[in-house]
Amino acid sequence: MFPQFPDRPNYSALEREILDFWKESNIFKRSVESRPEEKAWIFNEGPPTVNGNPGIHHVFGRALKDIFCRYRTMRGYRVARKGGWDTHGLPVEIALEKQLGLKEKKEIETKVGVANFNRMAREFVYEHINKPGGWNELTEMMGYWVDLDDPYITCTNEYIESVWWSLSEFYKKGLIYRGFKIVPQCPHCETPLSSHELAQGYAEVRDPSLYVKLPLEPGQSVNGTPLPENTLFLVWTTTPWTLISNVALAVGMDIDYALVHDAETGEHFILADARRAALDPDGKWSVVTMFKGSDLARLHYVRLFDYVPVDRDAFYVTIGDFVSTEDGTGIVHIAPAFGQDDYEVARRYDLPVLQPVTPGGHFTDDVTDFAGRAVKTIRFEDRVEEGVDKDIVIALKKRGRVLKSTNDYLHSYPHCWRCDNPLIYYARDSWYIRTTQYAAEMIQQNRNINWQPPEIGVGRFGNWLEENKDWSLSRDRYWGTPLPIWVNQDDPSDTLAVGSIHGLMSGEYEREDGTIVPMETVADQVDLHKPFVDHVIFRRDGKVYRRTPELIDVWFDSGAMPFAQWHYPFENRERLEKLFPADFIGEGIDQTRGWFYTLHAIATPMFGQPAARNILVNGHVLDKEGRKMSKRLGNTVDPFEMMRKYGADAVRWYMVTNSPPWKSMLFNEEDILPTVIADFFRALTQSYNFFTLYANIDGFTYAEERIPVAERAELDRWILSVLNSTIAEYLKLMDEFDPTRAMRLVSEFTVEQLSNWYVRRNRRRFWKGELSADKVAAYQTLYECLAAVTKMMAPLAPFLSDRIFRSLNGVTGRDPSESVHLALIDEVETVAIDRDLERRMARGQRIVALALMLRQKSNLKVRQPLRRLLIPVLNDAEREDYRAMEEIIKDELNIKQIEYVSAEEGSDIVKMKAKANFKTLGPKYGKQMKSVAAAVVGMSAGQIIELQRSGSLTLTSGNDTFALLSEDIEVIHEDIEGWLVASEGTVTVALDTELDEDLLNEGIAREFVNRVQNLRKDSGLELTDRIRLGFASDPELTAALEAQRAYIMDETLAVEFGPQEKETMLDVTLNGKPCRIALERAAEIPAS
RNA sequence: GGGCUUGUAGCUCAGCUGGUUAGAGCGUCCGUCUGAUAAGCGGAAGGUCAGUGGUUCAAAUCCACUCAGGCCCA
């Protein structure tokens, strides 16, 4: 017996049962290991950061990854997938700081201690993985299959060792160097802010707007022409305090600059021509000559302030692509320590980096006049330190260097989210990876990646590579992979890198008290984190090397996962070439410059190829209004609650079929029930239940030989054709990483074609008669459709699909697999595809829809039989199409007879009109299109017939002649005399609405049968129960019913039927007339 | 401020290598069918295709700008 699917299923409970089954029968592991090793499809898991609880967007991302791993498994590939957890980094530190109530980063050292802090960080991440409501539970509950028993975890010694190895390789290639990094620094908290923190602190403020005059060194010329005496560059700044650290100016290469003369003062200025009007509104200046920015390069000017000594050439004009003429003067002042663009210029031109400012935002003693002054106003809890800008402006004014200055420049400026003070951009020591050295190769390798959607690859990611900047590698934090570089304490340029634990053990251990012991004595404590590694020193040739204190960017951890997850090269040395590159990875669009980039930036120099062949990028999950989900807005969705309410399958199905993965999806809980559960899931489970209902009665177990498709009924051949067309399209879409379209296809097939047409049209075949060959064919057809659907849907709805698959297969054993996830998706049975049949059925369905509309308009119920339906056709082929569907159309519409009328035979009753086909005519006639269209509308029936017959026709309209082909017009039928007509496109039907006595009697009989069936159902009779049936009514109705005696008895399984008077009769109304019915179960048990 | 991306019915989405009347599902209302179905079928209401301007015989579709959302960067 096939088990019934529950009428009102609790999906969440069903899923728990299936989870148990998977676990007991070890299905996941078997699904991997049952596939041949040489047919591997490599998936790499992007590790989520376990700094908090998982959200609904994780269900989305993980469902997408799961789909393709499961799909490939079902295509016969071996898809091993290791789970992974990203455990290091700032997000974890911040979450822990909050939990500990720490206010400042410093307190990690002063209050908690680094060793303690890192121990707690480790506990923190492991807890978030394992606790209820944590990552393991989410993964399991949503049915995401990754190996959770043996995941890679980035904070283990093995993982870090692999990362160290790769860093030492970078080091050996000379790709790691030390430089400055410009960070947003809070002078109050004396700490840099991460970009994440930065984003939440922008505010509108008023700042100074200062135009400074910088005199050129005398005696210089441009393009051979000497510049006049007393020529000055005009420079604009909103941060006067940075002028003290100025070392250069920057102009735009292609920007036009003007040399102007101010007759009043005798000065000459150089500024961008586009800014002249803004700075000289009265037009007092006269233009002497024009330059391009490139002409100005290397012109030297006189330094403004000379507090800080410089050791090389400086104070000249450079070229910068960041210079604009939106505001300012088109000439930008460069202070390398205080701006990213400035710093880049300094690196390119080898300019000195002046840093006369402390991390607390005060001038150093070098700046004698302003020593100790705050560069920007800082508000402390108990006092306010006024910024120095105003005094610098005064000093410049005294020296006559100011063209104009105001204090009301309004712009958006970053502030510290903790203390609200304005940040300063500030140069700090930092380690870099010289990615620019191999950027061209990264661009080249990017062409070998198949991005889905493609525009991310060429656009967002491609642009990012084009504008590549060196990767700032180091971080001044505590919980992360330590940078394995040791520095000679007497010569900072002398460094060494450690690439393994073995290498580390060749050092010595320096205890807190300064005593040095061999590493062997601490061998059992080796932990590749702070503070342990900071105690390791190396003594070589009398020199002492100590570790540079920084950690590495946590993104390097995850970018190293393709090899670090395997502890390569310390283990799996020979296997890696089989495991790299990955066939598939997928993450959110925010990872473009995150994980996707770091994978690429590491794989390119290490392996000379991209880390993945296919990358699926998914958009974000927003709330139903399209806003992003955040704790602050309170619009987050709890994934566990959703899965408990609707089941994981429904949530997964909803999220993936709702919109394509790469678009942002709007999550609306209310849509899950109507669009998934009441739609696809219902159609599937009810079709299944329909099947089991009759299969169990008939004892069908698919024991018979498979009946060849060609020998099955038309409807069977039709649904199997549609099924195979669907499978073909499905495979194509899945191979193209478009799960949304693929799964919508599965849903549409199940709901529209299988449930609402095939099963509905076929009910009689299942409930009538013995288990004939035709009935077996029907069972086999429906079974095959259901089985195929469970396989196609399995990647996205792994629970429900397995449940139904096992219910079916448990009885028939047609598939050797114990679970759908061990099975292979059916190959397309090409011979079953019959495009003509599909087209004919689609036409038939259209006819039915049109005729039903006519019935509705003329208020004729379908139960009332009608005599005739008329279908105008253009040719014999079309007539044959409809004729093949005749039985179905007649039955569906309750119509006795269908007649066809072709244009030629019936031109007196069928009126034809032609409509221009703009798509074919437009390109041919262009501007004449309007007159062509008018001429086509004016075509006579004779002309239309002529065109249809001969395939071409020349039409004259006024002086123009148009050569038409039959494809250039569309023929429409309208108005058939004396008939009720409806058209849609080129399909037209006409209905004969005249009724005679026979038809009316039949209609009454159908009404009667309907009432009896309802009564049978209400009185709880079994489907197969026979009844004794009686009725009482007026003579007219009685005669009508008697006339239809055989039909009524057959339909209602009545063994007796006739007029009867009884006390307990039920009142019904037939076509407005009263009738009473008596019904009771017949004693004998019928043979099924 | 820059780059990328999205904006189509009350809601979620198709359509967007230009082609005349812009579709589907859900929701609402009306009708109808049914011995598988919380269903099905038919109909109605509901759209200045975000806005403005342009290219074209023809624009939801191509171009420019503006507005709004999202992502990344500043």
Least confident of A609-623, A667-681, A761-775: A761-775
Q: How far is the CA of A413 from the C1' of B74 (A)?
A: 10
**Does A22 qualify as catalytic in the annotation?**
no
Q: Exactly one of A355, A452, A565, A591 is catalytic; name it.
A: A591
Q: How far is the CA of A45 from the C1' of B13 (A)?
A: 30
Q: Please give the C-alpha separations between residue A433 and each of A86, A132, A482, A533, A569, in angstroms, as whole numbers.
A: 21, 40, 15, 22, 21
Which residues have CB under 8 Å from A62's CB, separation 6+? A139, A142, A144
Closest CA to A56 of A614, A452, A798, A646: A646
Provide mean pLDDT across the span A210-225.
91
3-class SS at A643? Answer: helix
Question: What is the per-residue pLDDT across A109-121, written as a single tens digit (0 to 9) for each?
Answer: 999 999 999 999 9
Q: Is 50 exceeded by the pLDDT of residue A1086?
A: no
**Does A928 qualify as catalytic in the annotation?**
no
Question: What is the per-residue pLDDT across A639-674, written as a single tens digit (0 to 9) for each?
Answer: 998 899 889 999 999 999 888 888 888 888 888 888
**Does A451 qualify as catalytic in the annotation?**
no
**Does A86 qualify as catalytic in the annotation?**
yes
Q: How far is the CA of A690 from the C1' of B10 (A)?
A: 35
Q: Exactly one of A47, A414, A482, A795 is catalytic; name it.
A: A47
Q: How far is the CA of A59 from the C1' of B69 (A)?
A: 23
- What residue is closest to B21 (Cα–C1')? A985
HEC secondary structure over A115-151: HHHHHHHHHHHHHHHHCCCCHHHHHHHCCCCCEEEEE
Please state, in angstroms and rounded to a whole number, the distance separating the CA atoms of residues A511 and A581.
43
Q: Which nucleotide is nearest to A469 (CA to C1')?
A: B73
Q: How far is the CA of A918 from the C1' of B54 (A)?
A: 24
Helix axes A1035-1043, A997-1018, angle to 10 degrees: 90
Provide mean pLDDT across the span A1068-1079.
77
Q: How far is the CA of A742 from the C1' of B42 (A)?
A: 29
Q: Which nucleotide is nearest to A922 (CA to C1')?
A: B19
Q: How far is the CA of A853 from the C1' of B49 (A)?
A: 29
Q: Which nucleotide is nearest to A854 (CA to C1')?
A: B42
Least confident of A184-188, A197-201, A384-388, A968-972: A197-201
Query: Which residue did the predictor score with more confidence, A253 or A459?
Result: A253
Q: Is 80 exceeded by the pLDDT of residue A245?
A: yes
Q: Exactly one of A66, A86, A553, A738 is catalytic; name it.
A: A86
Give the model's confidence band at A963: pLDDT under 50 very low, under 70 low, under 90 confident, else very high. Answer: confident
- What residue is closest to B30 (Cα–C1')? A856
Question: What is the per-residue pLDDT across A877-901, written as a single tens digit (0 to 9) for each?
Answer: 778 888 888 887 887 788 888 888 7
What local confidence, expressed as pLDDT, does residue A442 receive?
92
**Does A431 qualify as catalytic in the annotation?**
no
**Residue A423: exposed, middle, or buried by beta-carbon count in 10 A (0-12, 13-18, 19+)?**
buried
Q: Which nucleotide is nearest to A687 (CA to C1')?
A: B36
What local confidence, expressed as pLDDT, does residue A986 receive?
66
Which residues have CB under 8 Å from A1026's CB, separation 6+? A1053, A1054, A1055, A1081, A1082, A1084, A1086
Q: Exactly one of A555, A566, A718, A757 is catalytic; name it.
A: A555
Tokens 């009896």: give the residue: A1012
Q: Which nucleotide is nearest to A759 (CA to C1')?
A: B36
Question: What is the per-residue pLDDT across A824-860, written as a single tens digit (0 to 9) for each?
Answer: 998 999 999 988 888 888 888 778 877 877 777 777 7
Question: What is the per-residue pLDDT across A338-350, written as a single tens digit (0 to 9) for each?
Answer: 988 888 888 889 9
Please state, in angstroms and rounded to a whole number, the distance separating the CA atoms of residues A932 and A921.
8
Q: Which nucleotide is nearest to A853 (CA to C1')?
A: B42
Q: How far is the CA of A930 from the C1' of B59 (A)?
A: 17
Q: Is 70 exceeded by the pLDDT of residue A31?
A: yes
What local confidence, expressed as pLDDT, does residue A507 receive?
94
What local confidence, expressed as pLDDT, does residue A476 receive?
83
Q: How far is the CA of A914 from the C1' of B56 (A)?
A: 25
Question: What is the per-residue pLDDT across A292-313, written as a single tens digit (0 to 9) for each?
Answer: 888 998 999 999 999 999 999 9
Give the model's confidence band at A974: pLDDT under 50 very low, under 70 low, under 90 confident, else very high. Answer: low
Please state, in angstroms and rounded to a whole number, the distance separating the CA atoms of residues A363 and A371.
5
Question: What is the per-residue pLDDT across A425-449, written as a single tens digit (0 to 9) for each?
Answer: 888 888 889 998 999 999 999 988 9
- What residue is closest to B27 (Cα–C1')? A674
Q: How far is the CA of A133 from the C1' of B20 (A)?
A: 57
Give the model's confidence band at A960: pLDDT under 50 very low, under 70 low, under 90 confident, else very high. Answer: confident
Q: Which nucleotide is nearest to A458 (CA to C1')?
A: B4
* Percentage of the residues of chain A whose pLDDT score is greater than 90: 42
Q: Is 80 exceeded by the pLDDT of residue A632?
A: no
In a 13 Å sphere around the CA of A597, the CA atoms on its Cβ side amount to 24
Q: How far is the CA of A936 from the C1' of B20 (A)?
A: 13
Q: Which nucleotide is nearest to A933 (CA to C1')?
A: B20
**Does A631 qualify as catalytic in the annotation?**
yes
Q: How far is the CA of A411 from the C1' of B1 (A)?
A: 10
Give the model's confidence band at A125: pLDDT under 50 very low, under 70 low, under 90 confident, else very high. Answer: very high
What local confidence, expressed as pLDDT, does residue A241 receive?
93
Separation of CA A811 from chain center:
39
Q: Record the tokens describing residue A210, joined without a space.
A: 């200062």
Average pLDDT value for chain A: 87
**Does A591 qualify as catalytic in the annotation?**
yes
Evaluated on CA atoms A624, A630, A632, A637, the torsion sign reads positive
Positions on chain B within 7 A of a protein C-beta: 1, 3-6, 11-14, 19-20, 25-27, 31-43, 56-58, 69-74
Provide mean pLDDT across the span A981-1000.
76
Give the model's confidence band at A1088: pLDDT under 50 very low, under 70 low, under 90 confident, else very high. Answer: very low
Q: How far is the CA of A756 from the C1' of B39 (A)?
A: 9
Least confident of A232-246, A615-629, A970-984: A970-984
Tokens 């609707």: give the residue: A646
Q: Record the tokens describing residue A551, joined without a space.
A: 């950690």
Q: Exactly one of A631, A908, A927, A1035 is catalytic; name it.
A: A631
Q: Which nucleotide is nearest to A752 (CA to C1')?
A: B40
Closest CA to A231 of A288, A179, A180: A288
Q: Is 50 exceeded by the pLDDT of residue A584?
A: yes
Please state, in angstroms and rounded to a whole number, the distance separating the CA atoms of residues A1042 and A1038.
6
